[in-house]
């Protein structure tokens, strides 16, 4: 009896959460009359790619997909590498005042990105880095969140393992990549996935730096498309929205466990 | 302590050759540290710390972005902000948005977590579905909900029609645009809140519940007496996290309303963007950014104070 009520609630909840995404997908295949039909038309008459072709005619969508993939991959790779190297040094290389370096990382977590955008924009514009990949990628490269999680993980690694490797004559890089990294795979995977999602969805900074459509990422291209097509051309806008959301949905569905572990890491550590 | 003293005594007694070797090792370590941690720390200093201090300096200037002319005006921008009647409205909008999304998100998330905590068929699927929007772009989510909220052709118009309700002017008349953005924010975040709560609920020991049930405590009493107190720290964590995220929320407002109509969905964060990059008043925009930063720091300070107290109790 009670379970029956619960089931109804859960089904409604699932519908409210999932149907908007299905509705988006359906709309990207509908013609304009189908979209504005009253009463509502649930399914498109024909499944064709007209809206996607219209997107490609309006903005350089192929180039934007490339930009999004390229920037996400390069940023994520470098961010994870910088974080791994920094965390390794913080845990395993002994120097005086090491804690100062850690405090620099830790305090960054308290500085909101928003307060940095005006000065960073002035710097990047002054260096003539607007409309360059460098200008989009570099300011966000340092990883405080990743470094913090890596450091916590590395502190669990038994020192004896590293000492044994050192006796075998392994240098620091070998110790990092042959000893520490292999036993930290779950943490690295979680941080990598969180970074991928964050970079893919990032909007404000790339929208300021990429002024030419050829440098725009998908989210920036989407608002650019809205400016060009007007607000009412829903089929075209939602086709582009579908292109932006499907990759993250796919990654989420396939790698759910690790991604969720990363996204909720703050609750476990904090 | 004593081992430290012994160590330093041994160090000072070491023959000069060993001391030189130790110093060489120290310098080698410093070199290794600089190579490994240096790049990350340098980028943090250049693109996070430098702008943090610079932003405070900019906030004292009468200066437009891209202009070479800048005049030092002390706290003039802050005086202007505190005297501008629009600021009270922006602060009110920010507060309302924050309270509604934080309180609403936690209530809905907890309810969902309680439902998902029972061993029901299909709960894994529901958990996946409810979390999915959290990983999507705010711009994309804003677009797809604009289509649903559209008062002429939107899906919501049809659904409301089934209950005999006509669609309110979501985009054009206060306070509907803000309510609309709050609803979409809740949709995007509720799965995250539910998942965090669910992790907490599953850490409530089953034997504790069983013991209480044996003692004759009803479901409600078990919940209030055992589950809720154990969820306290999680609730607090969510309170802080959701508050910080609400105060910095940008993408949904940018895609759905652009802060409008007539500034009714303009939050502090959005004002930084408008002043800095649409109007181009770099000095004034930096002052607003600094005010936002102070508020965010205050929220974080509350968190630290509370966490410290909790540690003392233990």
Q: What is the pLDDT of residues B243-281, one digit of tens each?
A: 999 999 999 999 999 998 999 999 999 999 999 999 999
The pLDDT of residue A153: 93
B187 to A143: CB separation less than 8 angstroms, yes or no: no
Q: Give, as one character, the DSSP assignment of residue B166.
A: P
The pLDDT > 70 percentage for chain A reads 97
The pLDDT of residue B15: 64
A248 to B137: CB separation less than 8 angstroms, yes or no: yes
Using the Cβ of A3 and the Cβ atoms of chain B, whether some distance falls under 8 Å is answered with: yes
Using the Cβ of A127 and the Cβ atoms of chain B, whether some distance falls under 8 Å is answered with: no
Count of beta carbons in the 10 Å neighbourhood of residue A25: 17
Taking CA atoms, A144 is separated from A102, A110, A206, B49, in Å, by: 10, 10, 20, 12
Computed over every residue of chain B, the mean pLDDT equals 88
Q: Is residue A203 part of a domain?
A: yes
Sign of the dihedral defined by the CA atoms of residues A189, A193, A194, A198, in that order:
positive
The pLDDT of residue B13: 53
Question: Phi/psi class of residue B14: alpha, beta or left (left: φ > 0; alpha: ψ in -120 to 50)?
Answer: beta
Name the minimum distance, in Å, from the CA of B144 to any CA of chain A: 6
Sign of the dihedral defined by the CA atoms of residues B247, B130, B134, B303, in that order:
positive
- Nearest 10 degrees: Cα torsion A226, A198, A205, B79: 110
The pLDDT of residue A64: 97
Q: Is A110 helix (H, G, I), strand (E, B) or coil?
A: coil
Count of beta carbons in the 10 Å neighbourhood of residue B54: 18
A204 to B187: CB separation less than 8 angstroms, yes or no: no
State which fold the B76-313 domain adopts: MetI-like fold (1.10.3720)
The pLDDT > 70 percentage for chain B reads 92
Using the Cβ of A265 and the Cβ atoms of chain B, whether some distance falls under 8 Å is answered with: no
Considering the domain architecture, whether residues A44 and A113 belong to the same structural domain is answered as no
Considering the domain architecture, whether residues A163 and A253 belong to the same structural domain is answered as yes
Considering the domain architecture, whether residues A130 and A175 belong to the same structural domain is answered as yes
Facing residues of A107 across strands? none
pLDDT digits (tens, 9 = 90+) for B18-71: 888 888 889 999 999 999 999 999 999 999 999 999 999 999 999 999 888 999
For chain A, the straight-line distance linking the first and the last C-alpha, in angstroms and rounded, comes to: 39
The pLDDT of residue B1: 38
Q: Nearest residue on chain A to B258, judged by CA atoms?
A: A223
Q: Is B150 helix (H, G, I), strand (E, B) or coil?
A: coil
pLDDT digits (tens, 9 = 90+) for A66-100: 999 999 999 999 999 999 999 999 999 999 989 99
- Nearest beta carbon to residue B147 from set A219, A234, A253: A234
Report the DSSP pairing between strands B70-72 and B61-63: antiparallel
pLDDT band at residue B308 using 50, 70 and 90 as cut-offs: low
Considering the domain architecture, whether residues A8 and A108 belong to the same structural domain is answered as no
Considering the domain architecture, whether residues A159 and A37 belong to the same structural domain is answered as no
From CA B188, how far away is CA A246, in angstroms rounded?
Answer: 16
Half-sphere exposure of A162 (CA within 13 A, CB side): 20
Q: Which of A223-227, B105-109, B120-124 has the lowest mean pLDDT?
A: B120-124
Question: Phi/psi class of residue B99: alpha, beta or left (left: φ > 0; alpha: ψ in -120 to 50)?
Answer: alpha
Sign of the dihedral defined by the CA atoms of residues A218, A223, A228, A230, in that order:
positive
Q: Nearest residue on chain B to A100, judged by CA atoms?
A: B41
Contacts of B159 (CB under 8 A, 6+ apart): none
From CA B108, how far away is CA B110, in angstroms rounded?
Answer: 6
Computed over every residue of chain A, the mean pLDDT equals 91
Taking CA atoms, A142 is separated from A58, A75, A108, B82, B140, in Å, by: 35, 10, 10, 35, 26
Using the Cβ of B220 and the Cβ atoms of chain A, whether some distance falls under 8 Å is answered with: no
Using the Cβ of B153 and the Cβ atoms of chain A, whether some distance falls under 8 Å is answered with: yes
For chain B, the straight-line distance linking the first and the last C-alpha, in angstroms and rounded, comes to: 26
Considering A6-15, A66-75, A222-231, the range whose residues carry the highest mean pLDDT is A66-75
Considering the domain architecture, whether residues A7 and A31 belong to the same structural domain is answered as yes
Considering the domain architecture, whether residues A27 and A148 belong to the same structural domain is answered as no
B163, B143, B164: which is closest to B154 by C-alpha? Answer: B143
Break chain B into its structural domains and give their ranges. 2-58, 76-313
ipTM strictly over 0.90?
A: yes
Using the Cβ of A100 and the Cβ atoms of chain B, whether some distance falls under 8 Å is answered with: no
Residues of B in contact with A36 (CB under 8 A): 152-153
pLDDT band at residue B302 using 50, 70 and 90 as cut-offs: confident
Query: Which structure tokens are listed for A239?
Result: 């086709």
Considering the domain architecture, whether residues A222 and A120 belong to the same structural domain is answered as yes
Question: In B, residues 272-301, which contact A (CB 8 Å cutoff)?
Answer: 272-273, 276-277, 282, 285-286, 289-290, 292-293, 296-297, 300
Residues of B in contact with A211 (CB under 8 A): none
Q: Nearest residue on chain A to B257, judged by CA atoms?
A: A231
| Chain-centroid distance, C-alpha B181 | 16
Residues of A in contact with B248 (CB under 8 A): 112-114
pLDDT digits (tens, 9 = 90+) for B210-230: 777 777 777 777 777 777 777
Q: Is residue A53 part of a domain?
A: no
pLDDT surpassing 50 at residue A197: yes
CB B203 within 8 A of CB A268: no
Q: Is residue A167 part of a domain?
A: yes
Residue found by looking up tokens 């803000």 in the block: B178
Considering the domain architecture, whether residues A63 and A44 belong to the same structural domain is answered as no
The pLDDT of residue B2: 44
The pLDDT of residue A2: 61
pLDDT band at residue B205 using 50, 70 and 90 as cut-offs: confident
| CATH label of the domain that carries residue A232 | 1.10.3720.10
Considering the domain architecture, whether residues A118 and A235 belong to the same structural domain is answered as yes
pLDDT surpassing 90 at residue B147: yes
Contacts of A148 (CB under 8 A, 6+ apart): A87, A105, A106, A109
The pLDDT of residue A266: 61
The pLDDT of residue B309: 52
Name the minimum distance, in Å, from the CA of A73 to any CA of chain B: 17
Domain count, chain A: 2
The pLDDT of residue B19: 85
Half-sphere exposure of B30 (CA within 13 A, CB side): 8
pLDDT surpassing 60 at residue B310: no
Q: Is residue A54 part of a domain?
A: no
The pLDDT > 90 percentage for chain B reads 67
Considering the domain architecture, whether residues A3 and A112 belong to the same structural domain is answered as no
The pLDDT of residue A110: 83
- Chain B contact probe: residue of A10, A75, A140 with most B CBs at under 10 A: A10
Report the pLDDT averaged over residues B278-299: 94
pLDDT digits (tens, 9 = 90+) for A134-188: 999 999 998 899 999 999 999 999 988 888 998 888 889 999 999 999 999 999 9
Considering the domain architecture, whether residues A81 and A162 belong to the same structural domain is answered as yes
Range of the domain at A37: 1-48
């Amino acid at each position: 009896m009670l379970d029956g009520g619960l089931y109804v609630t859960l089904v409604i909840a699932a519908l409210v959460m999932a149907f908007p995404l299905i509705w988006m997908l359906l709309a990207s295949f509908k013609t304009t009359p189908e979209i504005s039909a009253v009463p509502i038309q649930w399914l498109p008459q024909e499944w064709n790619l007209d809206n996607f072709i219209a997107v490609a005619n309006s903005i350089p969508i192929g180039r934007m997909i490339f930009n999004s993939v390229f920037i996400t991959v390069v940023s994520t790779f470098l961010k994870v590498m910088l974080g791994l190297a920094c965390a390794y040094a913080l845990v395993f290389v002994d120097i005086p005042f090491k804690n100062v370096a850690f405090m620099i990382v830790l305090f960054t977590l308290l500085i909101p990105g928003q307060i940095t955008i005006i000065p960073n924009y002035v710097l990047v514009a002054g260096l003539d880095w607007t409309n360059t990949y460098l200008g989009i990628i570099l300011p966000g490269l340092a990883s405080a969140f990743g470094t913090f999680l890596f450091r916590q993980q590395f502190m669990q690694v038994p020192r004896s393992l590293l000492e044994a490797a050192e006796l075998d004559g392994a240098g620091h890089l070998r110790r990092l990549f042959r000893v520490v990294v292999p036993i930290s795979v779950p943490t690295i995977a979680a941080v990598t996935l969180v970074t991928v999602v964050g970079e893919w969805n990032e909007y404000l900074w790339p929208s300021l730096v990429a002024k030419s459509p050829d440098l725009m990422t998908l989210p920036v291209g989407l608002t650019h498309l809205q400016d060009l097509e007007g607000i009412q051309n829903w089929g075209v806008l939602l086709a582009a929205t579908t292109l932006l959301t499907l990759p993250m949905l796919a990654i989420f569905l396939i790698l759910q466990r690790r991604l969720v572990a990363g996204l909720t890491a703050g609750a476990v550590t904090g | 302590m004593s081992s430290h003293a012994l160590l330093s005594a041994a160090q000072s007694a070491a023959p000069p050759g060993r001391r030189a070797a130790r110093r060489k090792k120290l310098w080698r370590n410093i070199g290794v540290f600089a190579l490994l941690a240096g790049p990350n720390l340098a980028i943090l200093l250049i693109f996070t710390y430098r702008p943090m201090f610079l932003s405070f300096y900019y906030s004292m200037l009468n200066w437009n972005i891209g202009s070479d002319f800048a005049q030092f005006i002390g706290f003039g921008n802050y005086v202007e902000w505190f005297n501008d009647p629009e600021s009270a409205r922006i602060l009110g909008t920010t507060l309302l948005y924050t309270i509604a999304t934080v309180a609403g998100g936690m209530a809905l998330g907890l309810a969902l977590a309680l439902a998902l905590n029972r061993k029901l068929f299909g709960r894994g699927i529901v958990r996946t579905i409810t979390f999915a929007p959290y990983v999507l772009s705010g711009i994309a989510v804003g677009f797809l909900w604009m289509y649903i909220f559209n008062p002429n052709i939107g899906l919501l118009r049809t659904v409301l029609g089934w209950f005999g309700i006509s669609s309110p002017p979501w985009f054009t008349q206060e306070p509907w645009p803000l309510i609309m953005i709050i609803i979409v924010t809740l949709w995007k975040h509720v799965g995250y809140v539910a998942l965090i709560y669910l992790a907490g609920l599953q850490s409530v020991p089953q034997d504790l519940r069983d013991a209480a049930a044996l003692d004759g405590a009803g479901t409600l009493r078990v919940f209030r007496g055992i589950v809720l107190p154990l969820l306290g720290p999680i609730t607090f964590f969510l309170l802080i996290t959701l508050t910080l995220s609400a105060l910095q929320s940008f993408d949904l407002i940018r895609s759905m309303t652009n802060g409008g109509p007539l500034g009714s969905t303009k939050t502090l964060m959005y004002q930084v963007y408008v002043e800095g990059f649409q109007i181009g008043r770099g000095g004034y925009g930096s002052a607003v950014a600094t005010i936002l930063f102070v508020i965010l720091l205050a929220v974080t300070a509350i968190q630290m104070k509370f966490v410290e107290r909790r540690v003392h109790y233990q």
